[in-house]
Amino acid sequence: MSAWKAKRFWKQASVAEAEAGYTITLDGRPVHTPMKTVLVVPTRALALAIAEEWEAQEDAINPETMPLTRAANSAQEKVAPHLDAVRDMLAEYGDTDLICYRAEGPEALIARQSEAWDPLLAWAAEAYGARLIPVTGVMYHAQLPEARAKLRAALDGMDPFRLTGVHDLITISGSLILGLAVADRHLRAADAWSLARIDEAWQEEQWGEDSEAQDAATRKRADFLRAERLLDLLEG
């Protein structure tokens, strides 16, 4: 027996102004979150993009084809009620940031990591006053408390929707610095993704590609780029 799926019941998805932003409406009725509250997003651009997701649904509603809707639901229901906890969790990535853990060898990989990641550490030191120290190997090394505090402060001004996008950038890449670099428009997501996969790219060059690993990487890259699109839509 196939699982029951919600069916399309509306003729037109559109956008309406709300007191705190914009709602998405289906034949004039507002879209609700899974917890049954009206979904309200901060920009018209984001509302229009979400309305396009609803308009694109055909017979059965497929949430997998509605990433912006899912992100907005998460921002409103999961992130907004727990802002400090989410910020604290993301700030912890600065203490174990991907770009701070360097290979012990070979020299070509060490050089590639240094060429790609050292400028990012310099950028973080200039942009946030947070100087992270790279280490060799995979054993945990705590960063200086003042650096951690300054990176935590960089998350303080982010509203729930922006924090939702930055959350995905950080958790998918494993790097607080890469996530902030995309959020601050220091890097575009496609470039940041390549920088996050230096080790994997090296392994593929030496041993060839693994199809399952490639499929997983492709899915993660798509999610990473979608997080950047969310941030772009919050700008206008």
Q: Give the model's pLDDT for residue 15.
A: 98
Domain assignment of residue 71, yes or no: no
Residues 209, 95 share a domain: yes
What's the total number of domains in the chain? 2
Domain stops at, among 65, 100, 115: 65
> What Cα–Cα distance (Å) separates residue 145 from each residue in 127, 132, 133, 142, 178?
17, 10, 12, 8, 20
Q: Does residue 3 have a pLDDT over 70?
A: no
On whether both 127 and 58 belong to a single domain, the answer is: no
pLDDT in the model for residue 2: 45
CB 88 within 8 A of CB 145: no
Please tell me whether residues 105 and 58 are part of one structural domain.
Answer: no
- Does residue 15 lie in a domain region? yes
Q: Is residue 76 part of a domain?
A: no
Average pLDDT over residues 218-233: 97
Query: Do residues 128 and 195 both lie within one domain?
Result: yes
Residue 70 lies in a domain: no
How sure is the predictor about 108, in pLDDT bands with cuts at 50, 70 and 90?
very high
Instruction: Looking at the structure, tell me whether residues 60 and 123 fall in a common domain.
Output: no
Q: Are residues 138 and 214 in the same domain?
A: yes
- Mark which of 65, 92, 113 sits at the end of a domain: 65
Same domain, 10 and 115: no
Q: Which two tokens stand for residue 165?
A: 């996008």
> Contact, 113 vs 196, CB < 8 A?
no
- Residue 11: domain span: 1-65
Q: Is 59 among the domain residues?
A: yes
Please state the rounded mean pLDDT for residues 196-215.
92
Helix and strand numbers (H, E) in the chain are 10, 6
The 10s digit of each residue's pLDDT in 4-63 is 468 889 999 999 999 899 999 999 999 999 999 999 999 999 999 999 999 999 888 999
Sign of CA dihedral 79, 82, 83, 89: negative
Which CATH number goes with the domain that contains 52? 3.30.2180.10
Would you say residue 77 lies in a domain? no
Res. 143: pLDDT tops 80? yes
Say what the pTM is. 0.94
The pLDDT value recorded for residue 31 is: 96
Whether the Cβ atoms of residue 178 and residue 169 lie closer than 8 Å to each other: yes
Residue 75 lies in a domain: no
Q: What is the DSSP letter of 56?
A: T
Say whether both 113 and 30 belong to one domain.
no
147 and 210 inside one domain? yes
* Together in a domain, 26 and 119: no
Are 148 and 226 members of one domain? Answer: yes
In a domain, 73, yes or no: no
Read off the CATH number of the domain in which 222 is found.
Answer: 1.10.3580.10
Please tell me whether residues 222 and 142 are part of one structural domain.
yes
Compute the average pLDDT of residues 150-157: 95
